[in-house]
Structure 1
Amino acid sequence: MTERVVVTGAAGFIGSHACQVLLRAGWRVVGLDNFDPCYPRWLKELALRPLLASPAFRFVEADVRDRAALDGHLEGAAAVVHLAARAGVRESVGRGAAYRDINVGGTHAVLDACVRAGVRRLVYASSSSVYGLVAPPFTEAARLPSARSPYAASKQEGEDLCRRFAAVHRLRAAVLRFFSVYGPGQRPDQALHRFARLAAEGSPLPLYGDGSSERDYTYVGDAAAAVAAALAWTEAGPAGAEPFNIGTGRGVRLDRLVGLLAESLGTRPTVLRQRAHPADAARTRADITRARRVLGWAPKVDLELGITEFVRWYEVVYGYEALAAS
């Protein structure tokens, strides 16, 4: 019988793509999502459409903090991919209690449910934000500093929980530190999506800092492939929670990102400079040596192609009229 995996946050950005990859790999997938109102429900429902067409996929609208819902669907599962979370570094500032309740409380609930159901395989979505002001390239062996935002703090606590449960309950967990994931289905609050919308409206694009900040941008298809590779890694080996950087190993300046997006959109947007946000890191860049060696994973999509794919998705979802108006 084909094995079953439970994916939390299945209607989300990375989650919906990960479910597609897992289905293609032969898994039966139960997807959980509570349609958190952090962005429009219709976007999440749109992401679910291709999944619902598969007889190997079943969707459950539920909150990961709901014990009954978790217990009912983890029973008999081979593994859990825990992607559900409230995202956003800047958005988390001033909302620490909510982020801790959802991200830390939700992770604790999922781990407790794994123990009750006897599930020993876990993939947990962490973030490059846990590195804070560590000098790039970031390596998994780096000592993590104090978190600079409630979001980063919640991800650090989630990692700690994974390590604790792995040690006590003999779980084998892959902790994926995602670096600035982008692409089709991206959340409206994320940079490319926000910039595309503003460009379509003819509004100026707010750029934090002087444009020299750098991010390691990871295409969502590559991030989803990393989830599948990590899940395969959990099948055999000793208990423990091991971190893996999921990025490209290349930093891209913000002003270059905006230029590539403008070129793909065929626009010449006005830029509105703003003071750098104190919660943001000036530069991020992953050392992905460990993910390559241990997981057998490597990114395949370069930034230019990834932005083109994002713009194609944006045009389909929002219509060509909005882009033409710009």
Structure 2
Amino acid sequence: MAGAGLTVAVTGPTGDVGRALMRALERSRDVRRVKALGRRQIDPAAEGWRKTDYLRGDVLDRDAVAELVDGADVVVHLAFAIMGAPGERGREVNLTGSRNVFSAAVRAGARRLVYTSSVAAYGFHDDNPPLLREDLRPRGTDAHAYSKAKAEVERLLAETTVGSATEVYVFRPCIVAGPDALMLIGNIPYVQLGDRMPSAVWRLLDAVPVLKPVIPDNGISFQLVHHDDVASALRAAVLGRGGGGVYNLAAHGTLTMRDLADDLGWYSIPVPELAVDVAAEMATRLPFVPEDAQWLNALRVPMLMDVSKAERELRWRPRHGVRETLRATIAEARAAQLLR
């Protein structure tokens, strides 16, 4: 049941999901106070965060984490080094940092602990079922660091919280998109097409349609989810709706590479199964997609999820369709002059 006057602690408040969640918590009448921990210098007032006390720090700092969770009814852990961090540093943030947060939440007696994992935790395996459901064990894929780390952190969460009174929610969203996904530029190694090609070439591409880029279409369907819809599911967990457990998150509908090309105004060509890697590689060249985000292997292996559990138990309904989410992301990329 929802509880009035909750104090919520959040790690990773400045990412795409983080910003969306902070807006949702600020609007919630059931949330009295938010405590947020992040590495960036942030002015809460400038962000419109009136309920938020912002702590500048790192999840590797146990004292900072302890200060964050002190007095918190709910702890939401979003901080995760997806890419850009030097090898061992990134792994330390993901594993040691997550352990610090999970352990501190249990010690502090938090009522609920909410963790955002990923569809990548299931692993990119040829023997995955056609539709992934929450009772499938997260195997990860050793060859892909992001997938492996997401599965490892889920196992770490289970080990850290076993036997505790803290109720645990785990969310596995598919590829998260939307305008806020572009706010991380500058800290992530984006491939910016506008920096690779002079303006004269762009004018030529605009004037001669046949020269527009071509995306290989391997026919594999994939899912997107808007960051605001992920935030609404997280807010439901913060309020204790539905009960703890694992929940898949995806917008209604699916996309193919052809859909992506159509909305970009580019061309697509069908490719044989052997060229699946080419299509996924092409997607990583888009300026609004982090090139090292290894969940793009979902374009190589079908990774479609059943989201009926979240709809049934959390009463969650994604407000943004998959095509709407894609178009909003592309529009923001063009507004930011990352796409022409």
1:87–1:62 distance in 2 versus 1, CA, 3 Å: same
Structure ranking higher in helix proportion: 1
1:232 deviates by 1.9
Q: Partner of 2:223 in structure 1?
A: 216
Task: Give distance in 1, aligned partners of 2:100 and 2:214.
Answer: 38
Query: Is 1:306–2:291 an aligned residue pair?
Result: no
Matches of 2:250 and 2:54 in 1, distance apart? 29
The answer to whether residue 144 in structure 2 is matched with residue 139 in structure 1 is no
- Structure 2 distance, partners of 1:155, 1:6, is 21
Q: CA deviation at 1:222?
A: 0.8
Q: Which amino acid aligns with 2:122?
A: Y
Given that residues 178 and 328 in structure 2 are in contact (C-alpha distance below 8 angstroms), is that contact kept between their aligned partners in structure 1?
yes
Question: How far did 1:254 drift?
Answer: 2.0
Q: Contact 1:165–1:171 (CA<8 Å) still a contact in 2?
A: no
For the Cα contact (< 8 Å) 2:174–2:249, is it kept in 1?
yes
Q: Does 1:176 align with 2:195?
A: no
| Corresponding position of 1:256 | 259
- What's the secondary structure of 1:6's corresponding residue? strand
- Structure 2 Cα separation of the partners of residues 210 and 188 of structure 1: 27
Aligned: 1:289 with 2:296: no
Residue of structure 2 aligned with 1:116, choices 107, 113, 134: 107
Per-residue deviation, residues 205-233 of structure 1 (Å, max 9, x unmatched): 685x6443332111111111111112223
What is the deviation of 1:249?
Answer: 5.1
1:144 is matched by which residue type in structure 2?
P
Separation of aligned partners in 2, 1:13 and 1:59: 17
Is the counterpart of residue 57 in structure 1 residue 59 in structure 2? no
Alignment of structure 1 residues 1-326 onto 2, 5 Å: 2-26=5-29, 27=31, 28-35=33-40, 52-87=47-82, 95=87, 97-132=88-123, 133=125, 134-148=128-142, 149-186=144-181, 187-188=184-185, 202=202, 210-233=217-240, 242-248=245-251, 250-260=253-263, 262-263=264-265, 268=266, 275=278, 276=280, 280-281=297-298, 282-314=301-333, 318=336, 326=340
CA distance in 2, matches of 1:164, 1:310: 37
RMSD over equivalenced CA pairs, Å:
3.5
8 Å Cα contact 1:7/1:32 also seen in 2: yes
Shift of 1:247: 0.8
Change (3 A) 1:286 1:250: farther
Q: Give deviations 1:105-131, integer Å, cap 9, x for gaps.
A: 111000121123221311101000012
Q: Quickly say closer, same or farther: Cα 1:144–1:118, change in 2 above 3 A.
A: closer
- Is the 1:245–1:287 Cα contact (8 Å) retained in structure 2? yes
The question of whether the paired residues in 2 share the 8 Å contact of 1:223 and 1:246 is answered with yes
Contact preservation (8 Å) 1:250, 1:286: no
**Distance across 1 between alignment mates of 2:152 and 2:56:** 26
| Contact 1:34/1:62 (<8 A) preserved | yes
SS at structure 2 position matched to 1:23: helix
Contact kept, 8 Å, 1:99 with 1:150, in 2: the verdict is no
Q: Which has the larger radius of gyration?
A: 2
Question: 3-state SS of the aligned residue for 2:92?
Answer: helix
Call closer, same or farther: CA 1:311–1:198 in 2, change over 3 Å. farther
- Secondary structure, in 3 states, of the residue corresponding to 2:162? helix
Give the Cα separation in 2 of the matches to 1:161 and 1:51. 36
SS of 2:317's equivalent? coil
Name the CA shift for 1:55/1:101 in 2 (closer, same or farther; >3 Å): same
Cα deviation digits, residues 173-232 of structure 1 (max 9, x gap): 11000100100121449xxx868868997497685x644333211111111111111222
Residues 31, 60 of structure 1: 8 Å contact kept:
yes
CA contact (8 A) 2:252 2:318 kept: no
Aligned residues: 295
1:98 and 1:212 mapped to 2: Cα distance?
37
The structure-2 alpha-carbon separation of the partners of 1:146 and 1:179, relative to structure 1 and needing over 3 Å to count, comes to closer
Identity across the alignment (%): 25
Q: TM-score, normalised by structure 1?
A: 0.77
- The alpha carbon displacement at 1:100 in A equals 2.5
**How far apart are residue 79 of structure 1 and its match?**
0.7
State how far apart, in whole Å, the 1-side matches of 2:232 and 2:226 are: 10
